[in-house]
Amino acid sequence: MESFSSNSARSLIGRNVNLHLKDGAVIVNVQLTRIHRVAGKNNNQIEYIPQGKNKATCIPLKVIAWAEMLNLNLMQTAA
């Protein structure tokens, strides 16, 4: 299985996802906004905004195992 990389993250910018971390935790329903390129090897960070919030947060790409894309249309019809 491939690791989560900046190419994977770039394809999900602007979409709502669940971020599954390597330690088993899940960050639920966030919108990926941009990638911060930091000097050095494997220091890139992804910026995300949690659903219903305005403040962006960054997390290193190397701690993310994979991202699960969400379909918000299903969530809105269920409510």
Mean pLDDT over the full length of the chain: 86
Mean pLDDT (whole number) for 69-77: 71
Give the number of other Cβ atoms within 10 Å of residue 43's Cβ: 12
More confident residue, 33 or 41: 33
The predicted model scores a pTM of 0.83
> Using CA atoms in the order 20, 14, 42, 58, what is the torsion angle rounded to 10 degrees?
-70
Cα 15 from Cα 39, distance rounded (Å): 26
pLDDT in tens, 7-16: 889 999 999 9
Mean pLDDT (whole number) for 49-78: 84
Q: Which domains does the chain have, with CATH numbers?
A: 6-78 (2.30.30.100)
